[in-house]
Amino acid sequence: MNETSPLGAYPTTRLRRLRRSAWLRRLVRASRLCQDDLLWPVFVQEESGGPVSSMPGVERLSIDQLVKESHRAAQLGIPALALFPVVDDQHKSPHADEALNPDNLACRAIRAIKKEVPEIGIIGDVALDPYTTHGQDGLLAADGSVANDPTVAVLCNQAAILAQAGCDIVAPSDMMDGRIGAIRRALDAAGHSQTAILAYAAKYASAYYGPFRDAVGSSKALGQNDKKTYQMDPNRSPQEAWREVALDIAEGADMVMIKPGLPYLDVLCHIAQQASVPVLAYQVSGEYAALQAAAAQGWLDFRPAQMEALSAFKRAGATAIFTYSALETAVWLSE
């Protein structure tokens, strides 16, 4: 029957019929959030205990603390965590040399988690911004621009070092052209053919990354500079995002990421309908901080607002979601 035909119209058709009771609403849901959907981004630093002031409820953890929390995350059913190192200033340099140190903070954290909590997956960030004095994700050319191909060469080594430390999935978040294919070849050549690549395929130059940059200390390094020559312009069409995704898949990406989350739900939906690989979404630091700030004022209730946001990612087609509330949300889901 045509839904606009007279027979399908009110009063015979009453859409409220399926909203009458809790069990009925549960019955007819098309998507449901569960623990398997939650991936946990975490900040690791050398010292213990460092709250991130712009992200209430988020702490920078020492390796010991991280191992404990990883154990909890695994018990709560979270499949994997995504590791972001907070690198001491003394280890930052213009060429990000520390990124290639096999004993750097990220590698030590990976080895510790693999040893103590082998049942949780580890996603390692591939990008140079935690390690550069200038805060850019890549190396600078003489004119101050971010140099694509020299950066890709370093990213390949960074990815191989993370894989060597035991990282299960490497996640290039840098947005250089051609890096997925180059990293795949480098991993294979180094004997890491089973290490998967999660490409931050469509990553926009967003104002919502502010609290993350505070957390890893790259905002003061970046100063007035931005990342608009490599991260995507928010006003391009979703077709450009599709082109980024299609290229990354062709180059060997096993999964792709759309980022940020809620402000780019149209892009996520567009990609999820076409992509042949799992499509992940990232509820970024600014989205999390905005909800927390409103909740702290008493203007929103964090739990239902956050559940609604995360459910929206599922409805739009996300296979899984990076969220700073992964642990808390997993607890809610188990209640």
Nearer to ligand PBG, 209 or 242 (CB): 209
Chain-centre distance for alpha carbon 263: 15
Contact map string, positions 158 to 197, toward ligand PBG, x by CB under 6 A: ---------------xx-----------------------
Q: Which residue in the list 92, 203, 227, 314 is annotated as catalytic?
A: 203
In sequence order, what are the residues at sequence separation of 6 or more whose Cβ sits closer than 8 angstroms to the Cβ of residue 268? Answer: 258, 261, 279, 281, 313, 316, 317, 318
Active-site residue, 114 included: no
What minimum distance in Å lies between the beta carbon of 250 and ligand PBG?
Answer: 23
Nearer to ligand PBG, 131 or 242 (CB): 131
Q: Which residues, numbered 101-130, are part of the site for ligand PBG (CB under 6 A)?
A: 125, 127, 129
Residue with nearest beta carbon to ligand PBG? 212
Q: Is 209 in the site for ligand PBG (CB under 6 A)?
A: yes
Q: Measured on CA atoms in the order 170, 171, 175, 180, is the torsion positive or negative?
A: positive
Q: Which residue in the list 92, 227, 259, 314 is annotated as catalytic?
A: 259
What minimum distance in Å lies between the beta carbon of 217 and ligand PBG?
Answer: 12
Active-site residue, 259 included: yes
Per the structure block, which two tokens stand in for 119? 């049942």
The correct pick among 284, 291, 320, 321 for binding ligand PBG (CB under 6 A) is 284
Q: Which residues, numbered 128-157, are part of the site for ligand PBG (CB under 6 A)?
A: 129, 137
Q: Is 59 in the site for ligand PBG (CB under 6 A)?
A: no
Quickly count: other Cβ atoms within 10 Å of residue 217's Cβ.
Answer: 18
* Cβ atoms of 249 and 223 closer than 8 Å: no
In sequence order, what are the residues at sequence separation of 6 or more whose Cβ sits closer than 8 angstroms to the Cβ of residue 275? Answer: 245, 249, 256
The correct pick among 148, 158, 285, 325 for binding ligand PBG (CB under 6 A) is 285
Cα 137 from Cα 131, distance rounded (Å): 9
DSSP letter assigned to residue 322:
E
The beta strands (E) that lie in 112-195 are given as: 121-126, 169-172
Helix axes 285-296, 302-316, angle to 10 degrees: 150
Nearer to ligand PBG, 214 or 240 (CB): 214
Q: What residue ranges bind ligand PBG (CB under 6 A)? A: 125, 127, 129, 137, 173-174, 209, 212-213, 227, 284-285
Q: Which residues are catalytic?
A: 203, 259
